Amino acid sequence: EDQVTQSPEALRLQEGESSSLNCSYTVSGLRGLFWYRQDPGKGPEFLFTLYSAGEEKEKERLKATLTKKESFLHITAPKPEDSATYLCAVATGANSKLTFGKGITLSVRP
């Protein structure tokens, strides 16, 4: 059974304090790894897709990387508006359904 584990569960940062969020996975045949951002009471918002080990994607203060066992979401000089829950998900099998981790709740203090 596919498993996705995210750590830490919660992270509190000072504005400008860079850090990384971890997503480790155990799957049979990774087709894609996805990062989403979710604000309270809202649906997940797509951030990145990574398909193969060594791949990196960047968007503003966020950078996602992928190895054969885990993915990292690096946040550089975060701002309070980056506060949200960050979800990692893997797609396996023919139907592209996603298996999600529990998410990491990020709080950035001004």
Q: Which is nearer to another protein, 12 or 79 (CB)?
A: 12
Sorted by sequence, the CB contacts under 8 Å of residue 60 that are 6+ apart come out as none
15 and 79 in contact (C-beta within 8 Å)?
A: yes
Among 17, 26, 31, 109, binds another protein (CB under 8 A): 31
Give bridge partners of residue 91 from the DSSP assignment. Answer: 32, 98
Give bridge partners of residue 54 from the DSSP assignment. Answer: none
- Residues between 48 and 67 that touch another protein (CB under 8 A): 49, 51
Based on the shown chain and the rule CB under 8 A, indicate whether residue 43 belongs to the binding site for another protein: yes
Residues that bind another protein (CB under 8 A): 4, 31-32, 34, 36, 41-46, 49, 51, 87, 89, 91, 95-103
